[in-house]
Amino acid sequence: MNRSELTFIERLYIFEALKGILLTSRHFFWNLFLHTTHLFGLLKNKSAAVTVQYPDEIRPYAPRLRTRHHLVPRADGSPRCVACMLCETVCPAKCIYIIAGEHPDPNVEKVAKRFDLDLGKCVYCGFCVEVCPEDAIRMDTQIMNIAAYSREEMLLDINELLRPGSRKQS
């Protein structure tokens, strides 16, 4: 990459810093002015900058947004997931780990005994939701804050997936 040499004025630094402060202050006072006039119903046609005070304030997300996964439960609380492993097969990040077991009802037959999803690897592609023949996995929890202090905490188990947010945060 070609960088132009700094001029003497630029190298003095002080003028450049002042230029920056000036720009920030101009936006600050201009938006302060606009927000105040909006309060009095004036200058409504001019829009002012919006800042969301995340995480105290959360913007409504579009319902179709792909957020953290959850497993849909049946009426009795057991997962609707029948451990067909299609999501595990299609997942490009290979971050779903399922172990199947027997369901007492012969019309259901199969159920996931273990269902682990490693958010640390997930690329949020939504293929798992798309492929599921039972509509058992969805990405509709609207949970976006998936940060954690360790890799282990990024691994969601079947309980956490069935009841998102139920796991105690450490």
The answer to whether residues 135 and 87 touch, using CB atoms and an 8 Å cutoff, is no
Stretch that binds ligand SF4, among 23-31, 102-110, 129-137, 152-160 (CB under 6 A): 129-137
Q: How far is 30 from 36, CA to CA, in rounded Å?
A: 10
Q: How far is 64 from 128, CA to CA, in rounded Å?
A: 15
Phi, psi for 40 (deg, rounded to 5): -95, 10
Stretch that binds ligand SF4, among 12-20, 52-60, 95-103, 157-165 (CB under 6 A): 95-103
Q: Which of 10, 134, 152, 157 binds ligand SF4 (CB under 6 A)?
A: 134
List the strands of the sheet with 155-156, edge to edge.
96-102, 110-118, 155-156
Binding site residues, another protein, CB under 8 A? 82-86, 88-89, 97-102, 106-110, 133-134
Q: Per rule CB under 6 A, is residue 143 in the interface with ligand SF4?
A: no
Residues 23-82, interacting with ligand SF4 (CB under 6 A): 81-82
The answer to whether residues 97 and 69 touch, using CB atoms and an 8 Å cutoff, is no
- Say which DSSP state 5 is in: P
Q: How far is the CB of 127 from another protein (least distance, A)?
A: 16
**Positive or negative: CA dihedral 121, 127, 130, 131:** negative
Q: How far is the CB of 146 from ligand SF4 (least distance, A)?
A: 11
User: 48 or 127: whose CB is closer to ligand SF4?
Assistant: 127
User: 86 or 162: whose CB is closer to ligand SF4?
Assistant: 86
Binding site for ligand SF4 (CB under 6 A): 81-87, 91-93, 95-96, 98, 112, 117, 122-128, 131-132, 134, 136-137
